[in-house]
Chains A and B, each alone.
Chain A
Amino acid sequence: MIGLDVVVQALLSGLFMGSVYALIAIGFTLVFGVTDIVNFAHGHLVMAAMFVTYFLFKTAHLDPYLSLVVVLPLFFGVGALLYVLVIQRIVEAPHSAHMMVTLGLLLVFENLANLFFGGDLRGITTKYTTSSFVMGPVAVPLARLGAAVVSLLAVAVLGVFLARTTLGKAIRASANNREGAALVGVNVPRVYLVSFSLGTMAAALAGAVIVPFSLVSPFVGHEFILKAFVIAVLGGLGSVPGALAGGLLIGFVEALSSLYISASLGNAIVFAILIAVLLYRPWGIFGQAKV
């Protein structure tokens, strides 16, 4: 029998990781919602940001949270560059081309990382990597708490940006109806570029804040992209609030299934959920059916 404190502890770590997953998935789903492109390389952008953060710590002793000052603008630029060089040339192409080209990007990132850094798992130890404080029956790990708080903050900021600013409204308008947005004077190509860059930045932010307690290798991106798929589908592809809910849900499912069922089946369960959702509610469990 598993004690209640263990369950609460698991739920807590589910909440923390779920918040990070939510941020990753929101970047993914934002790009899909606006540009209609499924970015298979999204998880590898998380990986790339992890490597950058790792090396900033190793070489310049820059704390991962401080390094955000470098990482965020850098990856906004990476996103813009990717968009201009690659993505904008395939926006009009069929979905199969989207998938293949972004898979190509995934392979580029993976092999670049593997070529320069090798395939080993690497991690850093910050002052707070192993710190935690006790709250009632559970120990709250500081590093994970920090990652979750920053991720949720970023989600909130993104939400306000989309809801309140002119550019944010333009992004939402383009996501709903490309032609309509163009008709009312939205600069659609620019909106696409900004959305893709924002999505990239969201992945990078998530990557940076998990470095204090996660190991990085060229291959960690796969796990993130699979999670992002599942979460985005659960929330309804393209829906930002849905992705937040989906991220938290997957965080809990993952934490509990590793507790009650073998970890290797955890992924299978998550995907079984994905399939069921795609069959019965392709608009997501939190989304609304479109008539």
Chain B
Amino acid sequence: MKGRLAVGVVALGVAAAVPLVAGQHLLTAFIVALHAAYMALAWNVAAGYAGQFSLGHSLFYGIGAYASTMLYLKLGLTPWVGMFAGAALAGVVGVLLALGVYRYNVRGIFFALVTLGAAEVAKGLADNWHWIKGPVGILLTMKAAPAEFFFLRREPYYYVALAMVVAMVAISLVLERSRLGQHFLAVREDEAAAEASGVDTHRAKTVAIGLSAALTAFAGSFYAQFYLYVSPETVLTFEPQLTMMLGTMVGGAGTALGPVLGSVLFSGLGEALRNLPFENTRQVVIGSKLVYAILLIVILIYLPGGLITLGRRRA
């Protein structure tokens, strides 16, 4: 326990020192990796711990991105606060979705398809909603306004992303050690046996989706502030969902560090490659995606618990 804490502190120290040595390109890669790790951890709450394999988390990501952005543009509310409003909204939508889905006892593959469908419907609606500028999307202007979550340099974004990941790891660890978290695990393993152990499976699943949705929305708000652009094509497609799943499943679902490991490996390395001065960057980026896809398949077949189990086996 003490040893692990020490490792954690050292890792955090190293992570905090990264901007001192990394250039802006490399820093971008780190930010993308941290952002992906955060998203993966947020999805992991529902999919990894509670076994609710949602394919519609882009919906919550999109809600976060649009909510903080619209609140800022229309009401002048700083995204620092707006992101909490987005999280609350996503949480409510998540709970409502869960209530509907679980009321009809939709499970497993059907649950995955319903959530996927929900995100697709949301994208269709967003594409046709003029108030949020439809498919054109919303551009934010770059400026130096720290109080409004706008920075000109990469470093502040890096520290925000790092803080989000640290907070999310902490939330995961607390969850693992809580009654609620244990209930999540029971639901994931066997709902009938969970009920027989006194677990309100309905409630546990609904809380898992709501919590995971709200946490995912923060990532959406961060995306908007970092890329300064929100559109259905960027935040409501399958892309964010894929990012969450890849990192989580490769690193290890249902653990607090697996999703971080997987995301840093997948998204971080990909982004780093994209920014290196290769002669044919396009081929390198696509080639790396190809290698990742093959790696994903190999890992899932031979290490179904993810890369994190490698370390655990030795320990």
Contact = CB atoms under 8 A, between A and B. Distances in A.
Contacts of B297: 86, 101, 104-105, 108
A269 B124 contact: yes
A104 B120 contact: no
Interface residues of B, number: 43
A111 B286 contact: yes
B124 A100 contact: no
B198 to A, nearest CB: 25
Nearest to A106: B293
B124 A264 contact: yes
A95 B123 contact: no
Most buried by A among B53, B55, B117, B125: B117
A233 B113 contact: yes
Interface of A: 38, 86, 89-90, 93, 95-97, 99-101, 103-105, 107-108, 111-112, 114-115, 222, 226, 229, 233, 237, 262, 264-269, 271-272, 274-275, 278-280, 282
B118 interface: yes
A103 B245 contact: yes
Contacts of B301: 86, 89-90, 101
Contacts, number: 116
Contacts of B123: 267-268
A237 B120 CA distance: 20
Contacts of B125: 265, 268
Nearest 10 A-B pairs (CB), nearest first?
A268-B124, A107-B293, A271-B117, A104-B297, A111-B290, A104-B296, A271-B120, A279-B104, A264-B127, A108-B293
A265 B124 CA distance: 5
A interface secondary structure, majority = helix
B101 interface: yes
Given A107-B292, A275-B117, A278-B117, A99 B53 contact: yes
A108 B292 CA distance: 9
B108 A95 contact: yes
A259 to B, nearest CB: 16
B207 to A, nearest CB: 20
Interface string B116-149: 1110110111011000000100000000000000
Contacts of B118: 271, 275
B193 interface: no
B19 interface: no
Contacts of B51: 96
A100 B101 contact: no
A100 B249 contact: yes
A150 to B, nearest CB: 29
B106 A282 contact: yes
Contacts of B113: 229, 233, 274, 278
14 contacts: A95-B112, A104-B300, A108-B297, A115-B287, A264-B124, A264-B128, A264-B135, A268-B123, A268-B125, A272-B121, A274-B117, A278-B104, A278-B106, A279-B100
